[in-house]
Amino acid sequence: MPFVSPGVYAREQDLSTYIPNLSSSIFGAVGTATWGPIGVVTDVTSADQMVQTFGKPNANHLAEYAMLQYFSEGRQGKYVRVAVSGVAVKSTVDVLDGGGTCFTVDALYEGTNIDDYDVVIASGTKASTFKLSVVNTQGIVVEKYDNLVKTPTSDDYYVATKINGVSNYVVIKDNYSSSLLPTNNTYTLTGGNDGYTGITDGEYTTGLDLYSSGESVDINLLACPGVSSDAGVIKLTSLAETRADCFALIDPPLGLNVSEVIDFHNGEGSYTGRQALDTSYAALHYSWLKIYDNFTASNIWVPPSGFIAAVIAKTDYQNDPWWAPAGYNRGRLTSAIAVEYSPTLGERDNMYSNGNAVNPIVNFHQNGITVWGQRTLQRLPTALDRINVRRLMLYMEKVVTTACNSLVFEPNDKYTWHRVNGLIEPWLRSVQSRRGIYEFKVVCDDTTNPPDQIDQNTLGVKVFVKPTKTAEMIVIDFMILSTGAVITEYI
């Protein structure tokens, strides 16, 4: 803006852009449930909230257990509930008025979670009103509404207005032909169905599709716990690769031995005809784990993906995403009672070499059940065949691109190039000091921005990094010398 008259004018330009801190272990999952919204991505931040939102889990709903395991260490989750359309139905009960149905009480969501809850009708505190209470199976009143009326035009105490959109459990369908007050009595909700029976890959893949946009759904980890079908696994890996900002956790089927799980990921043996798993954006851990389930007071086998998500979250909170989510320091699974099968050293060698990439979960004597591998499913021997390096790159790429969004539409000149270098280099030094990379170099100059590229409105940056490798094999050589030997001569 030109200044045409004398005076002092203040202007402001914000050059304080910095690299943001971003979450690195947000866990997104797809699965069935006894309660909750169907077909939407729902934010969940704790185990208690998971149960409140999606109901108490049981053996038919393994993904819920995976989320609960994640929340033993993690704090940010997203869950998509899937169900068979037409099979999932709500619990319901008709409340009578002496001559017929006064109104119907339906569960807020489809499922069995509030089957056998009672709706108790009693006289209201005010004359010509009634009271409605929702009572759980332990006899505890979880909601109570007083001074309700049946007349829609009366006031805010009309039963449907007072309850619908407010209750965490029920909705009211009024019978407008009845103007009578409901009969005082206890009415029991029944007939709910989780929509689990007959579920197919189609429901799971449709649920996974809701995570397809990295711009609208922010996640770092993705799983479809307990689902190991071809369609489910392919969808998981393809989503992670397409988004290129998250890591997929794949579960093997329950009941496989070591040879069978190797066949599973190689597309051989009983799995001949399916494509071998080969990607740096996913990992496979073996095998399933037994936990004690407080909800059913019994032991239950659950898939490993929830445990691995918890280990990754623990690793990020204790250290950083580029530390290996395995070993005694970070990979111990203290909430597991048993592992389905604990592979021997020879079996672990086979799982982890010869082109195979299956991460063992081992029950070590005295040290307990521990994640003992951190291979991605990439078969090509590069740095990206390790989870810590893949997650380092995912985190670096996400953080740097997020920070550089502020430079989009700025002039493509040396001043902006200098800003790019000044933005990225200090943060990479921080990553280096936290043992994520050995060495780095950021190049944003006329070598990465030739004239023809500038004419295409494109600014080029190259970031060279040497990722830190993990000490997975520690070799100690003991040298036996004679009594008169001089040690320094042998070093």
Q: CA-CA distance, 137 to 471, in Å (whole number)?
A: 53
* Average pLDDT of span 258-270: 96
- Measured CA to CA in angstroms, residue 229 lies from 27, 256, 398, 468 at distances of 21, 14, 30, 35
**Contact predicate 103/175, CB 8 Å:** yes
pLDDT tens digits, 307-319 = 999 999 999 999 9
**154 band by pLDDT with thresholds 50, 70 and 90:** low
* Average pLDDT of span 159-187: 93
**Contact predicate 442/461, CB 8 Å:** yes
And the tokens for 371?
Answer: 């994640």
**288 band by pLDDT with thresholds 50, 70 and 90:** very high
- Measured CA to CA in angstroms, residue 465 lies from 53, 145, 438 at distances of 43, 62, 8
Say if residue 67's pLDDT is above 90: yes
Chain centroid to Cα 212, Å, comes to: 14
Which amino acid makes up residue 271? Y
Closest CA to 299 of 75, 123, 65: 65
**23 band by pLDDT with thresholds 50, 70 and 90:** confident
**136 band by pLDDT with thresholds 50, 70 and 90:** very high
Closest CA to 222 of 30, 23, 387: 30
Say if residue 110's pLDDT is above 80: yes
**Contact predicate 192/111, CB 8 Å:** yes
Greatest alpha-carbon pair distance for the chain in Å reads 109
* Average pLDDT of span 98-117: 95
Say if residue 7's pLDDT is above 90: no
- Tell me, what's the pLDDT at 231? 95
Average pLDDT, the chain: 94
- Tell me, what's the pLDDT at 1? 62
- Tell me, what's the pLDDT at 40? 97
Say if residue 19's pLDDT is above 90: no
Work out the number of other CB atoms within 10 angstroms of the CB of residue 421: 15
* Average pLDDT of span 473-477: 90
Say if residue 447's pLDDT is above 80: yes
360-385 core/surface letters (b: 16 or more CB in 10 A; e: else): bbbbeeeeebbbbbbbbbbbeeebbb
Say if residue 457's pLDDT is above 80: yes
* Average pLDDT of span 39-63: 96
Domains of the chain: 27-84+197-387 (3.40.50.11780), 90-188 (2.60.40.4290), 408-491 (no CATH)
Q: Would you call 335 exposed, middle or buried from its count of C-beta atoms within 10 A (0-12, 13-18, 19+)?
A: middle
- Tell me, what's the pLDDT at 153? 72
3-state secondary structure of 271: helix
* Average pLDDT of span 402-417: 94
Which of 20-24, 127-131, 195-199, 390-394 is predicted with the least confidence, judged by mean pLDDT?
A: 20-24
And the tokens for 454?
Answer: 């500038």
Which of 148-157, 181-190, 192-201, 287-296 is predicted with the least confidence, judged by mean pLDDT?
A: 148-157
Say if residue 477's pLDDT is above 80: yes
The pTM of the full predicted model, rounded to 2 decimals, is 0.92
pLDDT tens digits, 360-404 = 999 999 999 999 999 999 999 999 999 999 999 999 999 999 999
Which of 19-33, 378-392, 445-459 is predicted with the least confidence, judged by mean pLDDT?
A: 19-33
pLDDT tens digits, 212-247 = 999 999 999 999 999 999 999 999 999 999 999 999
- Tell me, what's the pLDDT at 17? 76
**Contact predicate 313/74, CB 8 Å:** yes
- Tell me, what's the pLDDT at 14? 76
